[in-house]
Structure 1
Amino acid sequence: MTPSWTDLPGHRHWLETEAARLLSFAAAARHPVGGFAWLDAEGRPEPERGVRAWITCRMTHVFALAHLRGVPGAGPLADHGVRALRTVLRDPEHGGWYSALDAEGRPAEDGKNAYDHAFVLLSASSAAAAGRPGARELLDDVIAVIEERFWREAEGRCLESWDRAWSGTEDYRGANSNMHLVEAFLAAADATGDPVWLERALRMAGFFIDEAARGHGWRLPEHYSADWEPRLDYNSGERAHPFRPYGATVGHALEWARLLLHLESGLTDPPGWLLEGAEAMFGTAVATGWHADGADGFVYTLDWDDTPVVRERMHWVIAEAVAAAAVLHRRTGRPRYEELYRLWWDHAARFFIDPGAGGWHHELDPANRPAATVWDGKPDVYHAYQAVLLPTLPLRPGLAGALAHAAGQELPFRS
């Protein structure tokens, strides 16, 4: 029997080396006003672009995970992110977190978005699990905001956005923000020990995957009205939107496949549709999204007849493909997942990983050449870093919990 790559010392060494390389690249992003700056294609920070909450949160999460792995210097970088989330990015008047600051640290976007708050919860959970100063207070704060402002118990899902003063909401609901809230709820379950986060994640996944995706042939509608009716034509005039693109988003299907198995791992009596949905979402994404236009790579989006819409290739999609294949192989032992895991690492190494400037190219054109149609620069390392960690970790709800479990440690703050 052919051994899994994750059992081979050479592959594990390669993953470790790539993890260290990504951390070294990310460390340059520290912004002087707090949080982390956008990095350009050469890895140079662009402080004039200000600070975005989602970048700061993702980087904080990555550095907290690195600290849990015993990487010197990662803890202080996580602390830098936690401080920014407790100070300059926090709205002192109305609560919650700004989406962005300008270069001087003033609010540049003051709406309150579920997407940003999902990453605040994720980073706070990981930093708290890593025992970083101020992280538990941040975690308690964001939990209170999400429970009061975003979570809707009757629906079992979260609102999309508010204005700064929490006086009005958007007439839109999104699967993307709720998917990242599932991820954050899983991390919060590990960090707090409270099973309510697993229960909520299961309710959210039940709607989006067991109902919506199943009802559309395992192709997930991403956009909804305020009463949760799918809007299949949403953004038909802005098809390459970086956060709300038109059509089916291939990478999100792969990401959901992985998250369903993380969720399954934390439940005492998980429903059978979690594994069924994970395999179906993954299988449909691969059948429709890989090599969809005749060239290697995953297209960004598909129309509802599986015709490629945006053909550019995103780094986060191949990262999620690798991670999902690794998790599915560990869960099922099926050789096909190992074959795809190897295929996609070969693809990432050839086209996405940038050994010269560092990091990963965030976008490639349909011929697999670096591009900047949807994304310019290399704003963060979150997807790539998780892709090099997950293949060797035990299957747990959150990555911080998996790292602590692998090291035989108890998470701090657990009751």
Structure 2
Amino acid sequence: MAASELLKQAADRIEVWFSHAWPLWIDRGLDPKGLFYEQLDFSGQPDEIVSRRMRVQGRQLYTFSRAVEAGHAAALPRLRHALASIETYGWGIDAQPGWIHLLGPDGSPQDTLRDTYDQAFLLFGLHGAARAGLPNARQLADHTLAFIDTSLTEPSDGSVREGVPASLPRRSNPHMHLLEALLAWFELTGEQQFLDRANRIADVFAASLFDRASGILGEFFTAGFQLAPPPMGEIVEPGHHFEWSWLLYRLAGFDGRDLIEEAGALHRWGLAHGLGSEGYAVDECDRSGHQTRPSRRIWPQTELIKSCLVNGQHDAAARLSLAVLDTYFATGTQGLWIDQFDQAGRQTSDVVPASTFYHIVVAFEEVLRYARSAHPA
């Protein structure tokens, strides 16, 4: 079967899955206070007692904005409610700027750390809210950017520190998600400031995070961007290789810094070392390529799908999409997913984390976009 036909087959099944997922999450994903639940069980019921991470609030702002764009009118009032509540419970607690790290199920602050990763995801989610037409989303995004600039950014190289208060090791991951958010805002607004900021993050990637000689993206670093001592400095996540590859293609597509060669190297390393015997991306390797955690969450699969698409491997992207639909989405309640399998293919997750929905939405929308370009209506 031709790659375009496989993509169409995957896209058709994705559309069916979305037709179940959107109504379920719109109905059950938000609590009465307007905060997104952290997870559902496999019957689709929310966990009402677990704490709420702010990064998940940002991710779910984004996913609900995509439900709005997909034509689900019921998502819009929930999105408005969520944005108001997230600002009330999450911003400026203790009279200091920035998004806090963790909320109790009642909305009380449990951890007031200003984590850089969280700031990036709120910035990303606010882009979705702005795209859905919520007028105060841009103002909150500007406040978030100002906090990142004044409290988290290293003036010498444009990298971002590990929150307020700052900590070690430094991580590549907040840089990646900040790049993602900035590209989303540039795509929405066309404002050059967002592309300039994205280019500065790309400069950090090229200078400090990526090892050209090996093709490896580091995860954890010292204050001076040397690899952290073992074991943390040895950790390599194939899913992040694939995710960065997709983002670097996006950056170049917006006429940002051209790191296509590096994007290809990331993809090739992930394929060479990060796939298990069944062709799924594993959770973790070391720098020698040995698979130290051969379990496989769903999110590395979504990043592999995206990376295959931008690296011209449409057939592989389609086949993996179909395999994921056959396995990770084989749940009794449609619209949910199995978050992780072990090396032997046994399910290891007993909840459905809301944090994963954003990964699924972005990847599946990419498959739909490529399929539609191959089969225009």
1:182 aligns with 2:182: no
- 2:337 aligns with 360
Cα distance in 2, alignment partners of residues 6 and 98 from structure 1: 43
Q: Compute the TM-score of the two structures, normalised by the length of structure 2.
A: 0.90
Share of identical aligned residues, percent? 24
Superposed CA offset, 1:176-219 (max 9, x none)? 11111110111122334322222222232233246542335111
Q: Which moved more, 1:376-385 or 1:46-55?
A: 376-385
- 2:373 aligns with none
- 1:240 aligns with none
1:317 aligns with 2:300: yes
> Is this contact kept in 1: 2:3–2:315, CA < 8 A?
no
1:220 aligned partner, one-letter code: L
Superposed CA offset, 1:122-179 (max 9, x none)? 011121122124222222221221222222342121111113xxxxx21331101111
Structure 1: which 5+ residue stretches go unaligned? 164-168, 237-245, 330-336, 395-405, 407-415
1:309 aligned partner, one-letter code: T
Counterpart among 221, 243, 254 of residue 255 in structure 1? 243
Shift of 1:256: 0.3
> Is this contact kept in 2: 1:362–1:377, CA < 8 A?
yes
Counterpart among 278, 281, 284 of residue 266 in structure 2? 281
Cα distance in 2, alignment partners of residues 223 and 216 from structure 1: 18
2:275 aligned partner, one-letter code: W
Number of residue pairs matched by the alignment: 366
Shift of 1:7: 6.4
Superposed CA offset, 1:40-71 (max 9, x none)? 34132112113221111111101112222332
Q: In the superposition, relative to structure 1, how do residues 215 and 12 fare at CA in structure 2: closer, same or farther (>3 Å)?
A: closer
Shift of 1:3: 4.8
Cα distance in 1, alignment partners of residues 57 and 85 from structure 2: 8
Cα distance in 2, alignment partners of residues 3 and 353 from structure 1: 22
1:173 aligns with 2:150: no
- 2:348 aligns with 371
Q: In the superposition, relative to structure 1, how do residues 216 and 23 fare at CA in structure 2: closer, same or farther (>3 Å)?
A: farther
Q: In the superposition, relative to structure 1, how do residues 190 and 296 fare at CA in structure 2: closer, same or farther (>3 Å)?
A: closer
1:20 aligned partner, one-letter code: S
Cα distance in 2, alignment partners of residues 151 and 85 from structure 1: 24
Q: How does 1:98-137 map to 2 (within 5 A)?
A: 98-137=100-139
1:371 aligned partner, one-letter code: T
1:21 aligned partner, one-letter code: H
Q: How does 1:39-58 map to 2 (within 5 A)?
A: 39-42=39-42, 43-58=44-59
1:307 aligned partner, one-letter code: H
- 1:158 aligns with 160
Shift of 1:79: 1.7
> Is this contact kept in 2: 1:150–1:158, CA < 8 A?
yes
> Is this contact kept in 1: 2:298–2:338, CA < 8 A?
yes
Structure 2: which 5+ residue stretches go unaligned? 371-375
Q: How does 1:12-411 map to 2 (within 5 A)?
A: 12-27=11-26, 28-42=28-42, 43-92=44-93, 93-163=95-165, 169-209=166-206, 212-235=209-232, 247-267=235-255, 270-271=257-258, 274-291=259-276, 294-329=277-312, 337-357=313-333, 358-372=335-349, 376-380=351-355, 381-393=357-369
> Is this contact kept in 1: 2:242–2:270, CA < 8 A?
yes
1:134 aligned partner, one-letter code: N
Q: In the superposition, relative to structure 1, how do residues 161 and 234 fare at CA in structure 2: closer, same or farther (>3 Å)?
A: farther
> Is this contact kept in 2: 1:361–1:378, CA < 8 A?
no
Q: In the superposition, relative to structure 1, how do residues 210 and 222 fare at CA in structure 2: closer, same or farther (>3 Å)?
A: same
2:88 aligned partner, one-letter code: T
Superposition RMSD on alpha carbons, in Å?
2.3
Cα distance in 1, alignment partners of residues 112 and 239 from structure 2: 28
What's the secondary structure of 1:108's corresponding residue?
A: strand
1:360 aligned partner, one-letter code: W
Shift of 1:235: 3.8
Q: In the superposition, relative to structure 1, how do residues 224 and 264 fare at CA in structure 2: closer, same or farther (>3 Å)?
A: same
What's the secondary structure of 2:217's corresponding residue?
A: coil
Superposed CA offset, 1:315-366 (max 9, x none)? 101011112212332xxxxxxx022112311320222113413422111111
> Is this contact kept in 2: 1:254–1:281, CA < 8 A?
yes
